[in-house]
Structure 1
Amino acid sequence: MLVIDTVRLEPAWRGYGLGTLCVGMMIERLAAGRRLVVLRAAPAERRTAKGKVVDEISAAERDLAVAKLGRLWSQLGFEHFKDEVWVLDLGLATFTKAMDLVRSRVGLSR
C-alpha cells in the first residue's frame, strides 16, 4: 500500500491541473508492486475561501475544501472510503485511463 501523506502546490500554480498530474506521475513511479493508494482529502494548510492564510478556518470553509479535494482526487480514480479517506485500487484500469485524461488536459501525451 502506498500512503500519500501531504501534497502542497504553491497557490500561484493551482488551477492548471499540475497538482493532479504530479501526484499521478508520483503514483506511477512509486506504486509498482502495490495494490492500493490511500490518502486523506483534507486541507494541509488553513486558508479562507479567498486564499488568505489564517490560524483557523470555519467548519463550512473546511467542508468546502474537503469537497474540492475529493473532486480533485476522484479525477485520478480515487474513491471515497470513509470520512476524509480516499482509496485508489491500482488493480483496476481506472487509474491508467484517468492519467491519460489528466495528461491530455495539460497538453501532454504518454
Structure 2
Amino acid sequence: MSQRYPNPSFARLALAPGLLSAVVLLAGVAVIDSDWFTIFRYAISILAAIVAVFAFQAKQWWWLSAFAAIVVLWNPIFPLSFEMLVWQVLHLAAAVVFVVAGLMIKVPQAKDPTSSRR
C-alpha cells in the first residue's frame, strides 16, 4: 500500500492552544473591568505556559521571553493593574503573538519505523 502523503517530520502542537488563547484574549476585552477578568487571567496564563513548553520542546528559545511576559502580565496571583486602553492594546498584541507562535512553532516528530514498509 503506497502512501500519497508522507508523514510530516514536525507537528504544530502550539497551534491549537495559540488559537484558543487568541479567542480568549479577544473575548476577555469585554470583561476587563469585571470580576470575570480573574478567570480570564488564569486561562491566559495557563495557555501561555503551555505554548511556552511547546516552544521549549521545539528549541525555539526566543518565544520563551514573550510567553514569560504574558504569564507575568496576566498573572492572577499578583495582578498588575493598567488602564482600560492599555489592557485592550495588550490583549490585541498578545493575541497576535499567540497566533504567530502557533503557526511558527514546529515540534520535531520521531520517525515511525512502520511507515517505510511497503
Common topology (TM > 0.5)? no
Q: Which has the larger radius of gyration?
A: 2
Normalising by structure 2, we get a TM-score of: 0.35
Q: Which has the higher contact order (CA 8 A, sep 6+)?
A: 2
Normalising by structure 1, we get a TM-score of: 0.36
Which protein is richer in helix relative to its size? 2
